[in-house]
Amino acid sequence: MRSVLVAVIALISIDAKAAEQSFPADGGLVYFNMPSGNVGCQYTPVGGSDVYEPEDGGPELGCDRIEPTYLRFILGKSGKAKRYQNVGDSGCCDGSHTLDYGNSWRKGPFSCTSDRSGLRCSRNDGHGFFISRSKTQVY
């Protein structure tokens, strides 16, 4: 009985590790997309990068949704997430890193979970956002 329990615990541990993905940083920035290609995200570390510095100094997580209307969601180091409708620099979702459905990503105070219903991202204090084609939520 004990050996069966150990085997089950080992399998659960393997599945939990397989569900979290990581992606390489490009100049300090981390990019990933949803499998649908409709949502793409960028993580910016504290202090920003050579090409971008968050208003509050970072870290920052920003995700863009293309359809049915282009929207941007920004989660900074504190406070509620923000949703922007009039984005002047739209250019989402052309990366090669995909956060597979059922998997999660974590960096700094942020984590995101991808599933067929959409993308849910939050900061370790509970503030965050949910993005799908049919629904968006900021909390």
Say whether pLDDT at 6 is over 50.
no
The model's pLDDT over 79-138, given as tens digits with 9 standing for 90+, comes to 999 999 988 887 788 778 999 999 999 999 999 999 999 999 999 999 999 999 999 999
Beta-bridged to residue 42, according to DSSP, are 31, 62
Q: Where are the domains of the chain?
A: 21-138
Tell me the pLDDT tens digit for each residue of 29-69.
999 999 999 999 999 999 999 888 999 999 999 999 999 99
